[in-house]
Structure 1
Amino acid sequence: MENKTSICIEFLLLLATIIIVFFAKWLNHSKKRRKTTKPPLPPGPTGYPIIGCLPEMTKKKPTFRWIHKLMQEMDTEIACFRLGGTHVIPVTSPELSREFLKEHDLIFASRPHCMSARLTSCNYLSTVIGPIGDQWKKMRRILSSHALSSAMHTKLHDKRDKEADHLVRYVYTQLLSPQNNNKNGLVNLRVATQHYCGNVIRKMVFGKRFFGAGMEDGGPGLEEREHVDGLFTILTYLYGFAIADYVPCLEVFDFDGYRKILGDALDNVRKYQDREITNRVEMWRKGIKKTEDDILDVFINLKDSKHNPLLSVQEIRAQITEIMLAGVDNPSNAVEWAMAEMINQPHILNRACRELDSVVGRGKMVQESDLPNLNYVRACVKESFRLHPVAPFNVPHVSTEDAVVGGYFIPRGSHVLLSRPGLGRNPRVWENPLEYKPERHMVFESAQVELVDHDLRMLSFSTGRRGCPGVTLGSTMAVMLLARLLHGFDWMAPPGVRIDLVESEGVLLLAKPLVLHATPRLEPSVLLK
């Protein structure tokens, strides 16, 4: 009996030994395999334990210039910066960008949960900022099928047309009004372009140009200036590398002040918008309003399958803020830079004006129906998008699982940032990338220049699942804005002034607002129709 027990124990020990040896070998092999087969992270600074590169991020402002400078020094088109527990992956390669947003679009279709996005979107109720999920699908469907649909774009044509006319009258008034002490015909193009965009979006959303009375010369009043300034402040600080975006537990301390700045700007924007929304909801409830005239009316009247309101008031507020943010920056920045570049290269300005005279003539103002035929003007806008983007990065894409892109390991939860200047000024892709040359986009004279580059050699409007739903509206506003300015007026630098094409240090706007001398190019009867 003892023999049998001893043999049994020895057998079990032998079996256990064999299992342990095989397990150890398997574990060792698994470790080796992981070491040899798992790709590396993209190159980047080492950083500190736990906090990564947060100290450098807080010291080397603006952060986007530090990131681009370091990538140039490392001679890489993809990098990895660990900020707290987040891997931030900036990309300047069109090939890698296509791999992220096309081949692996589903993995990188979400957005980050962070302080600046949460505050701006009322806790992720809107479309562009919202992480992937049911709320995003709902809001995306509403935007695509209703607010920014082709039918709505056509329906709101007259409102955009009125604002294009108002822009021309406003510029013309600047040349004549003695109240402005403007006898030299000087026009601040930044004011004109930004507030044209603000006026268009307000008219399409709220059915009104101004929240207040406006100015006698047609310019923005205090309310509109505060509104637009607030929008641009939000755009600067949204995904602006706040400490709390990467270490949420530090939000309460607001070490860099970003939360307060963003909160104040949101208050300045929403105090005008929310009042309009509340009043309009009440008008529909009381039966005072009965026809849908603008985007706000559409939002209020959407119903679910049980005929209940599809959108809450809070969802409407969040989505309208996002529409406002998306509408004011890209067209105004592109046109201000385009005008500055064209003043310094008169042959480009003259060619654009000749095209306008040929396509439109001098007996009427440019209409939206003319825009498809203004190929060179379109190329001027596209070249401005390429060379002078309004933001350093696109809205971050978040990886929902581990992935391998371009031979590099991209961990789950990484923030992928496509660099707008990095793509548009990539010398491997663009010949003489720092030269403003609209002709580069006119491969075939008969082909219409599209402002979107689906090959991601530049980033004007994003693509893929998270592509911009307002491409048609944004393209129309940008081309119309430049066309109306060029067609209606002759422009030149003020006497003795040189237009310096220098970026602001903190953002990508011109360092100084563009102020030009203007004279009417068309007859007053045409300009003031």
Structure 2
Amino acid sequence: MALPTLVLLLVCLLLPVIWQQCKQHRRLPPGPPTLPIIGNMHQMIWNKPMVFRWIHRLLEEMNTDIMCLRLRATHVIVVKCPKIACEVLRKNDEILASRPATFASGTFSFGYKGSILSPYGEQWKKMRQVLTCEILTSSMEKKLQILRKEEYSYLARYINNMAQRPDNSVDVRHVAQHFCCNIIRRLVFGKRYFSDDIPASSTSGPGHDEVAHVAALFRALNHLYNFCVSDYIPSLVGLDLEGHEMVSKNVMGVLNRLHDPIIEERIRERSIKLGKGGEKKEARDFLDVLVYLEDADGRPLLSLQEIRAQTMELMFATVDNPSNAVEWALAEMMNKPEIMQEAIDELDNVVGKERLVEESDIPRLNYLKSCIREAFRLHPYHALNVPHVAMADTTVAGYTIPKDSHVILSRLGLGRNPKIWHKPLEFQPNRHLNTANVLLTEPGLRFLSFSSGRRGCPGISLGTSVTMMLFARMLQGFTWTKPPGVESISLQEGNASLALAEPLVLQAEPRLAAHLYI
């Protein structure tokens, strides 16, 4: 075959392939220029540890609601428009229902044995069903209400003890984070302290193990999906170039040390009880449910690793958003006393001062719920939602989303979007008072609280109760003032996070009758 004919044949064969690739490339969402092979990896590395700020700066500079980055071979699609977000979580919910495989997520989920971090598949379906049909049910929530009620009382007593000190100062972040951890430990393990030497009713504060537990949980949350280089270049796993793997292993060492003895003892208890022909007992907590579940043949439904993974993920899902929202709401309200006063007035009108606020009061506390909605909108704990992975090519907002792309919704971009929100950087709870029953969820995805779709949080009711009772008990029980010499509370965010740069410290004075704190 003559050379010109061969060249012509090759051109004819390759031209459709090249054209299709170019066509697909043109249909990708807009994004910054990329380098061959590595894409935008060099920019991501350069902007560590503030990658999320670089991403949002690019969105602003490009004036786009959807953007595509290429981190080596992975397309990372970032969305900050509610309409497009609805396409992601509703229209494309099934296709975008998977999760990325990363060193941290694999480690924290014991090899994807749980529900939140597991990629889409039979294991995820199994554990999701356990969560929705056995753990986070209305009957289970009602059954464990007594545990939550005790923790609400301990909260008031603990703050009251601090208010009796000479400087009556309270570290709000410390109180909020430990309250959330106390709640979830009670619900999962049936105990608030890891040591049996400390009485459950103690209000002396967390012990060494409880402090280590909170620190480990938040460190884990801050390392999940944190744009680690090896997440995009798996061949680098094991080299630990960023120290990411060591952090994950250290966190798991602490959490396993504290969780495993309780889990293993409960499994032994089950084995002994059923081995003697005893009947299944009524569940005392979430761990009982997980341990005593049986398959069709009467054998334990869940393995040890599945129980460890699910208890860990329940902890992760409970501690960050409620504590962060309450700390930010109080910080904003200290600088806007008219908002604080309106919240107090609502509590006094709805609940009064002769008893403590209860979960049953939450539906009527619309202004307080609006304050929390505004904190979720303006001050999310995480700037970006947990990534969704495309299991097939799909289309979002008219753009091609290739298979295996990571699609991320920007909590920051949605909640502070000036096209959606008037004066988006101002804390204005009244903007949410447009319904008879204010909810902490946001169906229109104008901000993210509990997400939506297959990967949406199944614990909306529990999350609402924990958040609102923390907030309501703190406001109803105490008068909060700034420390001496402080004219206004700094609302500065941390460099590498959206949390307050410094923990909120306020002074507290009891505002109810003394017997209500006992």
TM-score (norm 1): 0.92
| Aligned residue among 489, 506, 514 for 2:496 | 506
The aligned residue for residue 179 of structure 1 is none
Equivalent AA in structure 1 for residue 453 of structure 2: G
- Give the partner amino acid of 1:96: I
Find the counterpart in structure 2 of residue 451 from structure 1.
Answer: 440
| Higher mean displacement: 113-122 or 190-199 | 113-122
Tell me the distance in 1 between the aligned counterparts of 2:473 and 2:178: 14
In the aligned structure 1, how far is the partner of 2:325 from the partner of 2:39? Answer: 36
Give the number of equivalent residue pairs.
504
Residues 437-468 of structure 1: CA deviation (Å, up to 9, x unaligned): 11111113xx1111111111100111011111
Aligned-pair CA distance for 1:25: 6.8
Question: Residue 314 of structure 1 aligns with which residue?
Answer: 305
The Cα of 1:47 is off from its aligned counterpart by 2.6
CA distance in 2, matches of 1:291, 1:30: 63
Question: Which residue number corresponds to residue 74 of structure 2?
Answer: 86
Q: Which amino acid aligns with 1:235?
A: L
Shift of 1:24: 7.9
Q: Which has the larger radius of gyration?
A: 1
1:194 and 1:328 in contact (8 A); partners too? yes
In structure 2, how many angstroms separate the alpha carbons of the residues matched to 1:292 and 1:96?
42
State the shift of 1:35 in Å.
4.9
1:6 paired residue number: none
- 2:217 is aligned, of 231, 235, 238, to 231
8 A contact 2:181–2:315 mirrored in 1: yes
Q: Secondary structure at the match of 2:27?
A: coil
- Deviation sequence 1:179-199 (CA, Å, 0-9, x none): xxx312111101110000000
Which residue of 18, 24, 29 corresponds with 1:42?
A: 29
Q: Does 1:158 align with 2:141?
A: no
Paired letter, 2:33: T
Alpha-carbon spacing, 1:278–1:34, altered in 2? closer, same or farther (3 Å): closer
Match for residue 57 of structure 1 among 44, 47, 51: 44
CA distance in structure 2 between the partners assigned to 1:160 and 1:119 by the alignment: 30
Q: Is the counterpart of residue 413 in structure 1 residue 404 in structure 2? A: yes
Matching residue within 511, 514, 517 for 1:524: 514
Measure the CA separation in 2 of the matches of 1:344 and 1:386.
18
Query: Deviations 1:227-253 (Å, cap 9, x if unpaired)?
Result: 010000000001111111111110111
After TM superposition, the structure 1 stretch with the greater mean CA deviation from structure 2, 111-120 or 481-490, is: 111-120
Distance (whole Å) between structure 2 residues aligned to residue 217 and residue 200 of structure 1: 14
* Aligned residue among 470, 474, 484 for 1:481: 470
Partners of 2:462 and 2:127 in 1: how far apart?
A: 18
Offset at residue 527 of structure 1 (A): 2.2
Query: Is the CA contact 1:492–1:518 (under 8 Å) kept in the aligned structure 2?
Result: yes
Q: Cα–Cα, structure 1 residues 306 and 217, in superposed 2: closer, same or farther, change >3 Å?
A: closer
Shift of 1:210: 0.9
* Local SS of the residue matching 1:416: strand
1:199 aligns with 2:182: yes
1:279-428 paired onto structure 2 within 5 Å = 279-287=265-273, 290-428=281-419
Residue type matched to 2:472 in 1?
A
Determine the structure 2 residue equivalent to 1:220.
Answer: 206
Specify the SS of the correspondent of 1:80: strand
Aligned residue runs from structure 1 range 466-477, under 5 A: 466-477=455-466
Contact 1:393/1:420 (8 A) holds in 2: yes
Amino acid at match of 1:125: K
- How far has the Cα of 1:350 moved from its partner? 0.5
Contact in 1 for aligned 2:80/2:413 (Cα 8 Å): yes
Structure 2, unpaired ranges of 5+: 2-6
Q: CA deviation at 1:515?
A: 0.5
- The question of whether the paired residues in 2 share the 8 Å contact of 1:171 and 1:187 is answered with yes
Q: 2: distance between equivalents of 1:393 and 1:342?
A: 25
Structure 1 segments, 4+ long, off by >3 Å, are: 20-39, 213-217, 288-291
Aligned to 1:3: none
On the 8 A contact 2:326/2:375 being kept in 1, the answer is yes
Kindly tell me: are residues 46 and 31 of structure 1, through their superposed partners in 2, closer, same or farther at Cα, counting changes over 3 Å? closer
- TM-score, with structure 2 as normaliser: 0.93
Closer, same or farther: CA 171–417 of 1 in aligned 2, 3 Å: same
Contact map agreement 1:214 1:222 (CA 8 A) in 2: no
For 1:423-447, what per-residue CA distance to the aligned partner results, in whole angstroms no more than 9, with x for missing partners? 0000000000001011111113xx1
Q: Which residue of 2 aligns with 1:5?
A: none
Instruction: Give the counterpart letter for 2:302 in structure 1.
Output: L
